[in-house]
Amino acid sequence: MLIPCEVAVKSVIPALRALVAKELTQKYDMKQNDVANLLGVTQAAVSKYNRHVRGRVLDIEKIDDVQPIILEIVDLLASKRASRDAIIAKFCFACQIVREKRLMCHLCERYDPSINVKLCIVCSSGAGNCFKP
């Protein structure tokens, strides 16, 4: 049985991290090492995010509801004003939006062909959301 969070870990979280890394390196002119330390990943991962090698399984850059959350995460990380929990909550909220908009359904189906995504309501109903800010 495939749990939607497993798909999110493989697709949504890397896509969110890629957007955050891009903003931190471009908007704040941060070095990849510094961005890596803030995100808890390696410098190589940040390099791959910036080159669109990693975090591109799901294109969430143009989702209007997610973009402001990404900018909040970026500002919080850059200013070092927020707690780890606050930043995690923002990531979870962005993931929740992606799931509720059913933008991950095709990936669930690809990972587990036995899932009938037309009948699945786990993500769109909010039943599978792990955090509500």
The pLDDT tens digits of the residues spanning 26-70 come to 999 999 999 999 999 999 999 999 888 776 667 788 788 999 999
List, in order, residues 6 or more apart from 89 with CB less than 8 Å away: 131, 133
DSSP characters over 26-49? HTS---HHHHHHHHTS-HHHHHHH
How far is the C-alpha of 117 from the C-alpha of 59, rounded, in Å?
19
| Res. 120: pLDDT tops 50 | yes
Is residue 51 assigned to a domain? yes
pLDDT of the residue at 56: 66
The token pair at 63 is 């989702």
- Answer whether residue 66 is part of any domain: yes
* 126 domain residue, yes or no: no
Burial degree of 97 (CB within 10 A; 0-12, 13-18, 19+) = middle
Domain residues for 52? 4-111
Is 118 within a domain? no
69 in a domain, yes or no? yes
pLDDT confidence of residue 133: 45
The helix (run of H) or strand (run of E) holding residue 125 is none
Give the percent of the chain with pLDDT over 90: 51
Q: Tell me, what's the pLDDT at 80?
A: 84
Domain count of the fold of the chain: 1
Mean pLDDT rounded to a whole number for the chain:
87
Q: Over 80: is that where the pLDDT of 99 sits?
A: yes
pLDDT of residue 1: 77
DSSP state of 121: -
